[in-house]
Copies of this chain bind each other. A is one copy, B any other.
Amino acid sequence: MNIAVAQSGGPTAAINSSLCGVFDEAEKYNEIDRIYGSLNGIEGILNDNLIDLKEVLITENDKQLLKRTPSTVLGSCRFKLKNSSDDDSDYKRITQNFAKHNIKAFFYIGGNDSMDTVMKLDAYFRENHIDIKVVGVPKTIDNDLPLTDHTPGFGSAAKYVATTLQEIIRDSRVYSIPSVTIVEIMGRDAGWLTASSCVLRANGEPAPHLIYLPESDFSEEHYLEDVKRISERYKAVIVAVSEGIDCLASRSEATDAFGHKYLSGVGKYLEELTRDHIGCKVRSIELNVMQRCGSHIASLTDLDEAWRIGAAAVNEALKYGGSGVMMGFRRISNNPYRVGIAPLDVRECANKAKYFPKEWITPEGNNVTIDALNYFLPLIQGEPKIDYLNGIPVHFRLDQ
């Protein structure tokens, strides 16, 4: 028998480590012959676009490099399966291609949308008495998948954000004049990554002084009051803000005074608001895609866990016969930090989001509590050994 694995959704620094986990664990099973990688997620299954991973991951070094390479080496997709009751043509093609290659288990590494695919495929196979296991492996820098304590990819993104934010803080403090620096962090619906910027407190850093999340109500008036109050104490005010806070800039229908659509993000919007009302030196910074692919400053804890959860998915399907599940983390303790891995019913995970807890947001809605800090801190620990060639981190590449 053979198995297949695919990656989907937005890139992270840990998604290739999960792929390695699937690969390494599958190699231990004598009954598994080929380990297929599906190119561009489920599209690769639909289009019969598979590669034999044993032909590309040959040496131990290949795998070590791949673990430390950001983004999806197999490519990704944003493909949503139709309901099979409406149109089962894609399901039939998938089934045919799985049969053609004798694929008996499929591992899908992805976020909310990918878990929808896992759920639908598993349901279709069950209904039609097709014995193919489908197991989801979570990943998302948004950390917004339900039931799991956290998601692979998040810890590395949080470590990138903390490291970079600390450097921005140093940068912002050099001049003697007052300033406000607004750092826009990814998270359209869930504020986990923005909230994680609080970890700098563990090292005695008071910034970011203000943290705004989509989960709390945002008001321009309170924001400006907050900034004014903080600037009385700190020369260089640092604001961490989720791209998804509810304001003019995040509403797609919003237009400016001239009737033009807002093209810039929340950071730029707050920059202009601050400049107009406070008038000091203001800068906004978007961490952009760098925060999701910053492998050179990845969290070793995250990469290791990503590998482990990929490996656990293989055991779930092959050893325990599990299907229609997403593997998840359960936090056993914070000190020492320990997590267990267990299968979760994918129907409870797909198309649902886990928001940052309201009780971890301060009453003023402009910062997070110590509980948040304690939750985040274990996830960013440890640094992988990076191989450099010519002074540049070495990435594993399949093609150009």
Using a CB–CB cutoff of 8 Å, the interface residues on chain A facing chain B are 11, 40, 43, 69-72, 75-78, 159, 162-164, 166-168, 170-176, 199-200, 202-203, 206, 234, 258, 260, 264, 268, 283, 285-286, 288-290, 292-297, 299, 377, 380-383, 386, 388-395, 400
Contacts and interface: CB of A to CB of B under 8 A. Distances in A.
Contacts of A391: 159, 162, 199, 299, 377, 380-382
Nearest to A76: B174
A385 B125 CA distance: 52
Name, among A43, A72, A171, A200, the residue most crowded by chain B CB atoms within 10 Å (CB to CB): A171
Contacts of A297: 296-297
A234 B400 contact: yes
Nearest to A284: B288
B390 A377 contact: yes
Nearest to A175: B76
A348 to B, nearest CB: 28
A187 to B, nearest CB: 17
A215 B159 CA distance: 37
Contact of A392 (B77, B172, B199): B199
Contacts of A203: 389-390, 392, 394
A167 B290 contact: yes
Contact of A171 (B71, B176, B299): B71
A395 B258 CA distance: 45
Nearest to A155: B391
A380 B285 CA distance: 25
A232 to B, nearest CB: 14
Contacts of A164: 290, 294
26 contacts: A40-B175, A70-B167, A71-B170, A75-B174, A75-B176, A77-B175, A159-B391, A162-B391, A166-B392, A168-B289, A168-B290, A171-B292, A199-B390, A199-B392, A203-B390, A203-B394, A258-B258, A264-B268, A283-B289, A285-B286, A285-B288, A286-B286, A377-B391, A381-B390, A381-B391, A382-B391
